[in-house]
């Protein structure tokens, strides 16, 4: 196990009616609150009315920052920062999925900075140190974005979808009831994203059995089981409770303790997103099996463990190579079973997309069992068409 320090700044309020804790949290916040949300799902399902009521009862002056799109753009985060400054915002309440939650991390940092945050992080290699405090209300699970300070932002000018480091949320409200109106397509792609985070963490080093990986195996089994349960009964709030917490678990640092993580699939998918604005979980579903085939035989040891411990494949009489193949086959069968795409064509990603530019701009990760070249990443992308 690698040396580590573990400490976590995000307080989680989990469960139905978790929002009642919001009133208590708001007593610590200043008077001017930014209520940030996406395209309006919270207005249709009653979450907006409930939260605005709590904010008004707490005597807050509310400024709304709306229209945060999926795959939030850098321009949108800048728009939020200008608004936050203009309205002298003391506290940001982000309500939504990963996109709203990420965008607000950058709003919170940029509003306190004179310098452009992209330049600060990517040219000066510095990170922001001052932030507007924030709380998150999760209405769509999957990314676990509420648990970390990384914000995945699309810089349309630079054609990059990259991580910027912003603020941690001081609290996150995880109420499974708020997720009941998520479109099933988003439920499944979000939950697959959580599975991907777990796999990408698992695939890093060290490669021998360790506690983080054993907790990770249980998390993966849980996600797989509860995706199936949710598909069988979309009203199964118990299954959604498990999925919302599993998403948080995959990103709250516990699975990463003592590990260098992989995340090569994510880096590739993010650049695919920069060029196509595709759905994150769907992009991962197409890329994972193809990338994993390219990671053989280097990653066979961990693939074999996943085959036996997560996918229930009997290892008796099988080599690591057999098990690795069986793992990837099981993953593909599962992706098909839950209705996720297995080709770019199914995602309406044109075969004419500039895949070379995507491969050339993808971050090559240090934790991946196989050190990919850009040429191999291009092969992966072309095989996904």
Binding-site ranges for Zn ion (CB under 5 A): 193
Question: Contact region for ligand NZQ (CB under 6 A) — 76-84, 182-190, 204-212, 312-320?
Answer: 182-190
Among 73, 108, 110, 139, binds ligand NZQ (CB under 6 A): 139
Q: Between 211-232 and 237-251, two packed helices, what is the crossing angle to 10 degrees? A: 150
Q: Which is nearer to ligand NZQ, 194 or 300 (CB)?
A: 194
Footprint (CB under 6 A) of ligand NZQ, residues 143-172: 143-145, 148, 150-152
The residue (of 41 and 222) whose beta carbon lies closer to ligand NZQ is 41
Q: Which is nearer to ligand NZQ, 260 or 313 (CB)?
A: 260
Q: Are 108 and 151 in contact (CB under 8 A)?
A: no
Determine contact, residues 260/246, Cβ cutoff 8 Å.
no
- Should residue 176 be labelled a site residue for ligand NZQ when binding is judged by CB under 6 A? no
What's the burial of 371, exposed, middle or buried (CB within 10 Å: 0-12/13-18/19+)? Answer: exposed
- Are β-strands 11-14 and 171-174 bridged in parallel, bridged antiparallel, or unpaired? parallel
Write out the binding residues for ligand NZQ, residues 15-44 only, by CB under 6 A: 38-42
Region near ligand NZQ per CB under 6 A, out of 179-187, 201-209, 218-226, 339-347: 179-187
Question: Least CB distance from residue 142 to ligand NZQ, whole Å?
Answer: 5
How far is residue 133 from each of residues 12, 32, 77, 79, 313, measured CA to CA in Å?
15, 11, 16, 18, 47
Does 256 engage in binding with ligand NZQ (CB under 6 A)?
Answer: no
Shortest CB 62 distance to Zn ion, Å:
31
Nearest CA-CA partner of 192 in 115, 246, 234, 127: 246
**Candidate ranges 26-34, 95-103, 297-305, 352-360; the one touching ligand NZQ (CB under 6 A):** 95-103
**What minimum distance in Å lies between the beta carbon of 154 and ligand NZQ?**
7
Nearest approach in angstroms of CB 220 to ligand NZQ is 16
Is 264 near ligand NZQ (CB under 6 A)? Answer: no
Q: Which is nearer to ligand NZQ, 11 or 375 (CB)?
A: 11
186 binds, among Zn ion, ligand NZQ, none (CB under 5 to 8 A by kind): ligand NZQ
Is the bond leading into 288 cis (omega within 30 degrees of zero)? no
Nearest of 279, 44, 54 to residue 182 by alpha carbon: 44
Residue 49, burial from CB neighbour count under 10 angstroms (0-12, 13-18, 19+): exposed
d(CA 331, CA 337): 10
Interface residue with ligand NZQ, options 128, 190, 204, 341 (CB under 6 A): 190
The terminus-to-terminus CA distance of the chain in angstroms comes to: 39
With CB under 6 A as the rule, give the number of residues binding ligand NZQ. Answer: 35
Residue 135 in the binding site for ligand NZQ (CB under 6 A):
no
Alpha helices in the chain (DSSP H): 20-26, 41-44, 47-57, 74-86, 98-110, 117-122, 184-202, 211-232, 237-251, 264-276, 280-294, 300-309, 320-337, 355-361, 374-383
Per-residue contact track with ligand NZQ, 51 to 80, x per CB under 6 A?
-------------------xx---------
Among residues 21, 73, 162, 186, the one that binds ligand NZQ under rule CB under 6 A: 186
Does 204 help bind ligand NZQ (rule: CB under 6 A)?
A: no
Out of ligand NZQ, Zn ion, none, what residue 96 binds, judged by CB under 5 to 8 A for its kind, is ligand NZQ
Q: Alpha carbon of 247 to those of 98, 143, 206, 226, 302: distances in Å? A: 11, 6, 23, 12, 22
């Amino acid at each position: 196990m690698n040396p580590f320090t573990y400490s976590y700044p995000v307080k989680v309020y989990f469960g139905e009616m978790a929002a009642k804790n919001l009133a208590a949290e708001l007593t610590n916040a200043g008077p001017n609150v930014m209520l940030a949300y996406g395209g309006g799902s919270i207005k249709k399902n009653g979450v907006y009315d409930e939260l605005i009521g709590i904010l008004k009862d707490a005597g807050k002056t509310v400024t709304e920052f709306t229209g945060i799109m999926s795959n939030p753009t850098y321009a949108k985060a800048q728009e939020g920062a200008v608004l936050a400054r203009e309205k002298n915002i003391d506290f940001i309440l982000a309500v939504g999925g990963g996109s709203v939650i990420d965008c607000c991390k950058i709003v919170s940092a940029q509003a306190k900075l004179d310098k452009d945050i992209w330049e600060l992080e990517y040219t000066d290699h510095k990170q922001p140190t001052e932030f507007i405090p924030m709380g998150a209300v999760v209405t769509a699970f999957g990314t676990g974005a509420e648990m970390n300070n990384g914000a995945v932002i699309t810089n349309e000018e630079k054609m990059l979808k990259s991580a910027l480091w912003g603020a941690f949320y001081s609290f996150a409200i995880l109420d499974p009831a708020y997720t009941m109106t998520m479109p099933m397509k988003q439920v499944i792609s979000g939950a697959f994203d959580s599975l991907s985070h777990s796999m990408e963490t698992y695939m890093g080093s060290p490669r021998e059995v360790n506690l983080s990986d054993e907790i990770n195996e249980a998390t993966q089994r849980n996600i797989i089981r509860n995706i199936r349960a949710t598909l069988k009964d979309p009203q199964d709030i118990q299954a959604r409770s498990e999925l919302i917490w599993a998403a948080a678990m995959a990103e709250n640092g516990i699975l990463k303790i003592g590990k260098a993580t992989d995340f090569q699939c994510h880096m590739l998918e993010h650049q695919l997103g920069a060029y196509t604005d595709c759905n994150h979980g769907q992009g991962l579903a197409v890329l994972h099996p193809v990338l994993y085939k390219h990671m053989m035989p280097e990653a066979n040891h961990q693939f074999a463990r996943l085959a036996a411990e997560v996918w229930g494949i009997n290892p008796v009489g099988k080599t690591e190579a057999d098990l690795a193949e069986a793992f990837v086959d099981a993953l593909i069968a599962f992706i098909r079973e839950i209705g996720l795409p297995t080709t770019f064509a199914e995602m309406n990603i044109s075969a004419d997309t500039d895949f070379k530019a995507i491969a050339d701009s993808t971050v090559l990760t240090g934790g991946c069992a196989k050190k990919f070249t850009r040429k191999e990443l291009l092969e992966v992308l072309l095989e996904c068409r």
